[in-house]
Structure 1
Amino acid sequence: MTPVHQLGVSDVLILAASFWLVTKVVRRITSRSSQGTKLNGPPSESLLFGLNRKVVGAPDSGLLYQEWAARYGPVFEIPTAFRGRKVILCDPKAVNHFYSMERTIYIKGKLVRAVVANLFGRGILWAEGESHKRQRKALTPAFSNAAIRRLTEVFYDSAHKLKAHWEAIIDNAPPEGAIIDVEHWMNRVALDSIGIAGFSHDFQTLDGRYSAVAAAFDSLNFEGQGILSTLVFLLGTQFPFLANLPIKRNRIQKNLRRTMSGIADELLESTRREKSHVTDETVDRSIIGLLLKAEEEDAELRMDEAEVLAQRVECLITGWCALSRMHTFWCSTLTGYETTSISLTWALIELARQPEKQAKLREEITQFGATDPTWDQLGSALPYLDSVVLETLRLHPPVGETTRQAIVDDVVPVSEPITTASGKVVDSIVIAKDTIVTVSIRLMNQSEAFWGANAKEFQPERWLTLADDPLRAKEIQGHRHLITFLDGPRTCLGKSFALAEFKAVLSVLIRNFTFEFPDGPETEIVRHRALIPRPKVAGQPGGNVPMRVGRVE
């Protein structure tokens, strides 16, 4: 038999995948199972992709969802691949219900769990149900107020180290001033902070030391992705096996996990050795210390070996929500340094765009002179700093949406009657088992219906009067009526950690430096596609945000 007629391994795999695909399509098309309440929504553009291409290709999916919500109502559906459907919740009562039922009714779909397993193993980010509840309870003490109060000094130490480096750059800059890529440095300060706070390990990236962690995340650049990678985005919800195809991005994700595991193992062993010689409460209360306790046979909340290994990886990059597909533990144990650095960068961008607000924040911070505010003062004595941080998180949530799959039928209440596709007016909708449900965090955070006519503008002052304003935003649960940190049983565990780090670093930077764009406040900012979308100055390679940084006189 000639080679032309021989079937190789790849041919067999393609045939098997094609047979599986056809079977799934036929089953979906011929299915007569309950579809729940039929809702209004935009028409499909493709039998193969539905509206997935339009959503994935949109510069801002939140704006697209807002457009559809205005046309079809606060609860609507969009067609997905192969006649699938996805329900979009934009009603506050429905959104509150959705988050309260996470872990019992709404869980991550198979695609998301496969991606998470590839990246971080089967730890708390991957876990559902009782496993998630048990692992979360084991880690909760590491994020108590008492623990964060102690860690605030770590954040200040890293911020002042950054300050010293920038002062040296400014001293050696030409007369027109120093141009500094602020996002690059926000990455460094965030990574060094989480290394010390989580593991008592200094990555020393502020001193220019190479970091395998940062390099691994930088490799997850989604710009210019190939056709197969795009197909994972477009068809992955219907066909989760795509997450395990040997395409470039999936290989990079698995390599990231191996890199993280190796680093985490080294840090764990180092901490274990130190713990054998030092009895210090702060060690036991740290994230890595809690994992060591969970390994002990008599631990109250025993984790098995696979869970502990996954937590090592997740906790290595802990601190922010960010909660990242991977939404649920961004806040506390996933990609922490990524989301912290991104949020700090967005704050500097917005303050550079509006120098008067930057000056107002600086005036408030300088009331303490050269002394850093305490943890308690960060939380209560600096209302404008609090407002700037909240407004940054409102306009620029690191994670844009939460998507889950119903594991049982559910009845979802709505705050005001809606009209179904059949014309019936209802005050609740039925979500059928296996239905994909999405809450757009960006939509809820930026909706004019909830936040007023200036909802898409950076206006920290809104937080100073929110209690007295008749805004519908107050119908939304979550931290300060934001769902940036999610809500319910999977709300951001590291919320206090994130806010303390954000405020401490930003206070040091604004007190000591001024920030402006070399080409003026109208400089165009776009999003760079990566594991978590990053801001960048239009035309810059990668996620670069160069600014002119000067000393405060």
Structure 2
Amino acid sequence: MALGTNTGGAGAGTEVPALSGAPLLGSLHDLRSDSLGTYLRAQQRHGDVVRVSAGPPGMRADLYCVFSPEGVQQVLASEAANFRKDNAFYQEVRESFGNGLLTSQDEDYLRQRRLVQPLFTRRRVDGYAGAVAAETASVVTAWEEALDGIVDVSDEMTHLALRAVARILFGTDVEATADVVARCFPVITDYVLRRGYSPANIPRNWPTPGNRRAAAAMDELYGVCDRIIGQRRRAGADASGEDLLTLLAAARSSDDGGFDDGGFDDTELRDQVLIFLLAGHETTATSLCFALHLLARHPEQQDRAREEITRVLGDRPPQASDLERLPYLSRVVKEAMRLYPAAPVIGRKAVAATRIGGHTVPAGADVILAPWVTHRRPEHWPDPDRFDPDRFTPEAEAGRPRYAWFPFGGGPRACIGQHFSMLESVIALAMILRAYSFEAVDAEIPVSAGITLRTQGPARCRVRRLDTPRAE
């Protein structure tokens, strides 16, 4: 049996402790009803590496959960080649949203990364600040008409993040795409989740109601993307737009010998667009939603963030260069990502047996990383459920392991859009907090793990326009 590169003899590891479950179905019910709580309980009871079994005999799946920062670093970085995106969940995402940068592997991934990387340099991403500010300004204006001054920040931030990424991707075609994405994405993501976590699935081409609903949503979503891609192709060299789709259509790369390996064909281009829409709006929407709701529940931190915004910006619009001038607001975003990571669970499949934390994870094992759990390890995050942005001062960050906080993944497959996510979040929060004060209506927000972290109810806040007098 092949061994991981840092095993020191994988077979020498002790048996992985198992979370107890029901005799017939193991932990299947627990994972379906509260997967995040199940993983947290597994770590608290059994430590850094835990086996969780789910499903009936003959169809049972064993999940090897790795919770320590050091183990996470092995899986994502130092031994990343040994842990692949070959599990059933990624296959379902791949079949619905295409073989884009999130789901591709091996030479496909390396080629895509070479083509896309130049479009996500810090300088290029900073150029998207104006689009984020424009969409945020629309939200700020719309809230003046909020009924009883109450807004659901989950819905509102999803709308804002989708509009922003659609504007950046499609430019003037934002209106034609945002509504289609908002209508079709929930249908497709629910379909992916049901199939990704099911012990067995019927073929996608069987004419069941669920299959037909998902197929119709994918046809509509693919159709609008293909239409806009066709328009860009026909415009060719005459295209003057600087939207991301135009740049992706023109992208070229070469190997070390200077050989041009071509750009994306139309299907590959659509795959990239779909992945950017998925990863680019749901993740940032989650961070914005919980940052606002946390500040609404913590008025002292809200006032401190607003004071920094007013002192740095005054009345002018925020710019990309302001990101470094708003360190406390950036810490608010990071702490929101710690408590509510947009990707609360990350899956891989082990190629070879690997020793992690003194235990042997076998070849072929489904491996689970859970930022939701690792971000709450009390040895790195004292009083872990407390909201405290000052956990992210430079001094505090330097004192923790690199992978005690990993909302953007890590290693060679770290999220290419992490600077854009931070830029969008800080600009949007700066504009919103300068215009409104927040008070939480819903004290707690139930959540669950989907493709991204999902709210299971409203996240309502009462907002008050700061340039209008308080009603007596």
TM normalised by structure 2 equals 0.85
Deviation at 1:39, TM superposition (A): 1.3
Question: 1:89 maps to what in 2?
Answer: 66
Residue 316 of structure 2 aligns to a residue whose secondary structure is: coil
Question: Residue 57 of structure 1: which of 33, 39, 44 is its match?
Answer: 33
Could you tell me which amino acid in structure 1 is paired with residue 436 of structure 2? F
Question: 2:344 maps to what in 1?
Answer: 400
Deviation at 1:220, TM superposition (A): 5.1
- Whether 1:486 aligns to 2:409 is yes
Question: 1:517 maps to what in 2?
Answer: 440
Question: Which aligned pairs between 1:251-270 and structure 2 lie closer than 5 A?
Answer: 251-270=212-231
Question: Residue 374 of structure 1: which of 289, 299, 319 is its match?
Answer: 319
Q: Percent of pairs identical after alignment?
A: 24
Question: For the structure 1 residues 38 and 528, does the alpha-carbon distance in structure 2 shift closer, same or farther, using more than 3 Å as the test?
Answer: closer
Deviates more, 1:500-509 or 1:99-108: 99-108
Question: For the structure 1 residues 103 and 95, does the alpha-carbon distance in structure 2 shift closer, same or farther, using more than 3 Å as the test?
Answer: closer
Q: Which has the higher contact order (CA 8 A, sep 6+)?
A: 2
- Whether 1:535 aligns to 2:455 is yes
Question: For the structure 1 residues 391 and 246, does the alpha-carbon distance in structure 2 shift closer, same or farther, using more than 3 Å as the test?
Answer: farther
Deviation at 1:182, TM superposition (A): 2.9
Alpha-carbon contact 1:513-1:549 (below 8 Å) kept? yes
Deviation at 1:292, TM superposition (A): 3.7
Question: For the structure 1 residues 495 and 429, does the alpha-carbon distance in structure 2 shift closer, same or farther, using more than 3 Å as the test?
Answer: same
Question: For the structure 1 residues 145 and 130, does the alpha-carbon distance in structure 2 shift closer, same or farther, using more than 3 Å as the test?
Answer: same
Larger Rg computed on CA atoms? 1
**What stretches of structure 2 of length at least 5 have no aligned partner?**
1-10, 468-472
Deviation at 1:240, TM superposition (A): 6.7
Question: For the structure 1 residues 64 and 118, does the alpha-carbon distance in structure 2 shift closer, same or farther, using more than 3 Å as the test?
Answer: same
Q: Deviations over 1:430-455 (max 9, x none)?
A: 33221111111100112212211x21
CA distance, structure 2, for counterparts of residue 240 and residue 100 of structure 1:
32
Question: Which aligned pairs between 1:491-506 and structure 2 lie closer than 5 A?
Answer: 491-506=414-429
Could you tell me which amino acid in structure 2 is paired with residue 54 of structure 1? D
Question: For the structure 1 residues 229 and 359, does the alpha-carbon distance in structure 2 shift closer, same or farther, using more than 3 Å as the test?
Answer: closer
Question: Residue 451 of structure 1: which of 376, 381, 389 is its match?
Answer: 381
Question: For the structure 1 residues 156 and 469, does the alpha-carbon distance in structure 2 shift closer, same or farther, using more than 3 Å as the test?
Answer: closer
Question: 1:340 maps to what in 2?
Answer: 284
Question: For the structure 1 residues 494 and 551, does the alpha-carbon distance in structure 2 shift closer, same or farther, using more than 3 Å as the test?
Answer: same
Alpha-carbon contact 2:64-2:365 (below 8 Å) kept? yes
Question: For the structure 1 residues 154 and 221, does the alpha-carbon distance in structure 2 shift closer, same or farther, using more than 3 Å as the test?
Answer: closer
CA distance, structure 2, for counterparts of residue 80 and residue 405 of structure 1:
16
Residue 455 of structure 2 aligns to a residue whose secondary structure is: strand
CA distance, structure 1, for counterparts of residue 410 and residue 306 of structure 2:
32
Aligned residues: 449
Alpha-carbon contact 1:149-1:375 (below 8 Å) kept? yes
- Whether 1:184 aligns to 2:155 is yes
Deviation at 1:251, TM superposition (A): 4.3
Deviation at 1:139, TM superposition (A): 0.8
Alpha-carbon contact 2:345-2:449 (below 8 Å) kept? no
Residue 534 of structure 1 aligns to a residue whose secondary structure is: strand
Question: 1:30 maps to what in 2?
Answer: none
Question: 2:466 maps to what in 1?
Answer: 552
Question: Which aligned pairs between 1:267-346 and structure 2 lie closer than 5 A?
Answer: 267-278=228-239, 282=242, 286-294=244-252, 299-303=260-264, 306-315=267-276, 317=277, 334-346=278-290
Question: For the structure 1 residues 74 and 242, does the alpha-carbon distance in structure 2 shift closer, same or farther, using more than 3 Å as the test?
Answer: farther
Could you tell me which amino acid in structure 1 is paired with residue 361 of structure 2? I
CA distance, structure 2, for counterparts of residue 255 and residue 37 of structure 1:
49
Alpha-carbon contact 2:135-2:164 (below 8 Å) kept? yes
Alpha-carbon contact 2:87-2:348 (below 8 Å) kept? no
Deviation at 1:341, TM superposition (A): 1.9
Alpha-carbon contact 2:80-2:411 (below 8 Å) kept? no
Question: For the structure 1 residues 550 and 204, does the alpha-carbon distance in structure 2 shift closer, same or farther, using more than 3 Å as the test?
Answer: farther
Alpha-carbon contact 2:67-2:370 (below 8 Å) kept? yes
CA distance, structure 2, for counterparts of residue 212 and residue 269 of structure 1:
17
Could you tell me which amino acid in structure 1 is paired with residue 247 of structure 2? G
Alpha-carbon contact 2:13-2:355 (below 8 Å) kept? no
Deviation at 1:45, TM superposition (A): 1.7
TM normalised by structure 1 equals 0.73
CA distance, structure 1, for counterparts of residue 396 and residue 219 of structure 2:
51
Question: For the structure 1 residues 253 and 408, does the alpha-carbon distance in structure 2 shift closer, same or farther, using more than 3 Å as the test?
Answer: farther
Deviation at 1:460, TM superposition (A): 1.1
